[in-house]
């Protein structure tokens, strides 16, 4: 075996020493959040659902009554149609068509109003929840927080949803700027490590 030249030997020793003093790269701290769970289980999400229910329940009851009245007219026409005069039957059919048209219009307007209101409230709620996730991630020094909807697999140690739900519950009703994050879960290692 040939002897290493002194230049190569010095270079190898220098490189080995340099590698020994280079700090190991810190593993990124990664968290995964289930946004659907936050929407459904957070006090703010529950309050939004309750508010929507309270706001639209009277109109929903009106629609149900309108639908029952329409069904009653239909049943009456079907039952009494054979004994009615031609003029009575035509008037009853026209009244039934008009009532059905009114019901469908009211139902469509109701659905449009519910959808528009839900979209407004969801935007507001998503901003609040997103801000809470960002505040929590910054306070707990997370490098990356991923949406559980886009993650195919992650171990439960990466799931910070319970901690964020705790933070949301601890200050339900307060402003997002005045929130404090909950305790962090155990540090998680990136997948595959």
Per-residue model confidence as pLDDT tens digits over 166-182: 989 987 755 443 333 33
SS3 for 54-112 is: HHHHHHHHHHHHHHHHHHHHHHHHHHHCCCCCHHHHHHHHHHHHHHHHHHHHHHHHHHH
Mean residue pLDDT of the chain comes to 81
Q: 25-178: CATH homologous superfamily?
A: Skp domain (3.30.910.20)
Of 18 and 28, the structure prediction assigns the larger pLDDT to 28
State pTM to two decimals.
0.65
Which pLDDT belongs to residue 25? 66
| pLDDT tens profile 1-12 | 445 455 544 444
- Three-class SS of residue 14? helix
| pLDDT tens profile 60-108 | 999 999 999 999 999 988 998 888 889 988 999 999 999 999 999 999 9
pLDDT at 49 > cutoff 70: yes
Euclidean distance between CA atoms 113 and 107, whole angstroms: 10
Which pLDDT belongs to residue 174? 55
| pLDDT tens profile 124-161 | 999 999 999 999 999 999 999 999 888 888 888 889 99
Average pLDDT over residues 38-44: 93
């Amino acid at each position: 075996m040939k002897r290493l030249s002194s230049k190569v030997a010095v270079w190898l020793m220098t490189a080995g020493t340099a590698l020994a003093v280079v700090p190991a790269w810190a593993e990124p701290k990664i968290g995964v959040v289930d946004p659907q769970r936050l929407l459904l289980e957070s006090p703010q999400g529950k309050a939004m659902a309750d508010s929507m229910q309270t706001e639209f329940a009277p109109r929903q009851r009106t629609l149900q009554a309108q639908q029952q009245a329409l069904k009653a007219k239909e049943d009456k026409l079907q039952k009494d149609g054979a004994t009615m005069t031609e003029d009575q039957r035509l008037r009853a059919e026209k009244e039934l068509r008009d009532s059905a048209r009114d019901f469908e219009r009211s139902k469509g307007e109701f659905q449009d109003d519910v959808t528009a209101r839900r979209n407004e409230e969801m935007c507001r709620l998503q901003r609040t929840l997103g801000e809470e996730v960002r505040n929590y991630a910054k306070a707990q020094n997370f490098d990356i927080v991923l949406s559980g909807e886009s993650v195919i697999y992650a171990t439960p140690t990466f799931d910070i949803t319970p901690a964020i739900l705790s933070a949301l519950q601890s200050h339900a009703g307060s402003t997002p700027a005045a929130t404090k994050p909950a305790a962090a879960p155990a540090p998680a290692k990136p997948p595959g490590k």
